Structure 1
């Protein structure tokens, strides 16, 4: 979607804010980067959403992305890579704001409508899937691909995927698979399916109608979820808490199920990230979102200090040779004690979520 005329501007025009009727519109405005989030955009959204929560003239929030490629391809990992080389201090501050924003969205006192059209990855999931009315389309390609770059799902992704039916969330997290809109509905990452050609009309309706009524009016039945159709082998294979056992089970399946392909995909990821992701998902069970965000922050800071996150970004985005050299190179070499260290308390460096000033609204 194109940027909005007459919009208020934030973060060097990289995120736009506009009031239309009783609708507050947030438009991520970095279309050439598929609206990847940077620190300025996150800070601007946090401030504006906090202000709109207390504004009686705003009844509903809409979040969308500029351009035709997607809502948001995630965090700006090139910026993170440069910061890692410089010590990682700016990324830690960015995550403090980003996770505060995720928490604010999850508890937002007004309907929060997210157009999850096109690419919605990583940090894009964080600003959409915690909302109250999450809309996918036939163009949606969503997921948490962090293991591909030696990282672990964050922005509350471990919490969301841990709550998904069966072991679908475990499969999605370990493989980093891109998921369709129907898959997102199945996993609980979205609520409604609207053809992309109807999003503009839905946005107009949100200016004057109640959010729930408008979204329901434009919603249509979603096509079948391919991921849901694979539960017969996904659930038993991924039920183990041991990554090597999951691979063994996947490789014992009949060749036409997709088990061998899933195993090969997981085996190409960072072994450390795979094991820490699996442990993160298991530990997220029973946590609140804020507790899961605090856990993800601990894990994230340890990833910043380790070799695989930097190497994964280098291989996928900087040099683009697609041949990361993981350390350790195999799952067997990643010991339980190595995984445990990612979850150790941070002391004074623990996540400090910004207080939410929305309870009185």
Structure 2
């Protein structure tokens, strides 16, 4: 951390900034507060969901702050106490895909480009991930240096339930968690809460929300915490590591069936609800991503995103979970056995001139 950050200025100026946040109609606020660049996701009614327009505002400002000698640190947070960012607008994405709208290309391309900019940012980047942090919220936070969770944090990557895969760099970050924890989270969409978010390695720090959020998120407390060099606790039930150590999704199911514990039975029930295609794509994504650079992962995930847009499960997942809410998707193919190796291979194939360029 640059010890020259003017935290006294930050403290004095931060309260007026948040008062302005509550009075503006802008979806994202980009402000200089002392020597800090502050990004505020400002859509509390829809859990600060990320849109393409917001991405197009954040990215150039982030690049500008990176070069600005008077900006020493960037902080990103969400308005309200319910969510940091609960994801993207998948309903609009599904609507666009049905009519061939280029949003299905532009959103993924520009979001991954922003995620990469965060992952390569040359200054301290602090994400306050209090509240719901899923999907796009994962991409806006985990690739930065510091992620601060509170007891209100709820983290998950539930994409296999809607016919997608844990993208926004999930193929890079998740395989690097302890043991098979990342694979477990990727396949099941398991929800981590509070301190467990740090214990799992998703957050780098944990702070009680009253110490971070009172008096308009007193960010002055965070540098002191970060500079103490808190150690991430190495903790997680070994069950996920043992049961998810396998060479295929089918082998994982066999492990769970043989185990017979309440934990195993719960995971079997969960996986049975997920898109079989998404499960196989995600398993391969985790395998490949473990040996790739962050940039290589984004290229791979862009290919996967376009394969999902060409398929049917994403649209059916959005219908079942978001639109009709019957929670009863009709996946095609409907079983793991029907998801062929050819289908999986084709989903990872180069798009040629349409590949993501970083």
TM-score w.r.t. the length of structure 1 is 0.89
State how far apart, in whole Å, the 1-side matches of 2:77 and 2:219 are.
Answer: 15
Compute the displacement of 1:203 (Å). 5.1
Compute the displacement of 1:182 (Å). 3.0
Alpha carbons 2:302, 2:356 under 8 Å: kept:
yes
RMSD over equivalenced CA pairs, Å:
2.5
Alpha carbons 1:4, 1:16 under 8 Å: kept:
no
Q: Does 1:326 align with 2:339?
A: no
State how far apart, in whole Å, the 1-side matches of 2:342 and 2:175 are.
Answer: 23
Residue from 262, 267, 283 that aligns with 1:262: 267
Compute the displacement of 1:212 (Å). 4.5
Residue from 47, 51, 55 that aligns with 1:38: 51
Identify the residue that residue 213 of structure 1 maps to in structure 2. 224
Identify the residue that residue 47 of structure 1 maps to in structure 2. 60
May I ask how many residue pairs the two structures share in their alignment? 343
Q: Does 1:347 align with 2:358?
A: no
Q: Does 1:56 align with 2:69?
A: yes
Compute the displacement of 1:6 (Å). 4.6
Structure 1 residues 57 and 229: CA distance shift in structure 2, 3 A? closer
Residue from 8, 18, 24 that aligns with 1:4: 18
Residues 27-106 of structure 1 mapped to structure 2, 5 A cutoff: 27-106=40-119
Which whole-Å deviations, capped at 9, do the CAs of 1:103-138 have from their partners, x for residues lacking one? 111111111110010100011000011111110111
State how far apart, in whole Å, the 2-side matches of 1:79 and 1:33 are.
Answer: 13
Alpha carbons 1:30, 1:36 under 8 Å: kept:
yes
Identify the residue that residue 9 of structure 2 maps to in structure 1. none
State how far apart, in whole Å, the 2-side matches of 1:285 and 1:322 are.
Answer: 32
Alpha carbons 1:71, 1:115 under 8 Å: kept:
yes
TM-score w.r.t. the length of structure 2 is 0.90
Residue from 151, 159, 169 that aligns with 2:182: 169
Q: Does 1:284 align with 2:289?
A: yes
Structure 1 residues 78 and 325: CA distance shift in structure 2, 3 A? same
Identify the residue that residue 131 of structure 2 maps to in structure 1. 118
Aligned to 1:328, what secondary structure does the other structure show? coil
Q: Does 1:294 align with 2:330?
A: no
Residue from 235, 247, 252 that aligns with 2:253: 247
Residue from 315, 322, 333 that aligns with 2:320: 315
Compute the displacement of 1:86 (Å). 1.5
Which whole-Å deviations, capped at 9, do the CAs of 1:310-354 have from their partners, x for residues lacking one? 11011100111111000011111111111111101110010022x
Gaps in structure 1 of 5+ consecutive residues: 354-361
Q: Does 1:194 align with 2:230?
A: no
State how far apart, in whole Å, the 1-side matches of 2:45 and 2:140 are.
Answer: 19
Identify the residue that residue 8 of structure 2 maps to in structure 1. none
Which whole-Å deviations, capped at 9, do the CAs of 1:155-195 have from their partners, x for residues lacking one? 00121111111101111000011112433323322100001
Residues 126-145 of structure 1 mapped to structure 2, 5 A cutoff: 126-145=139-158
Alpha carbons 2:277, 2:339 under 8 Å: kept:
yes
State how far apart, in whole Å, the 2-side matches of 1:5 and 1:229 are.
Answer: 39
State how far apart, in whole Å, the 1-side matches of 2:275 and 2:355 are.
Answer: 25
Alpha carbons 2:199, 2:236 under 8 Å: kept:
no
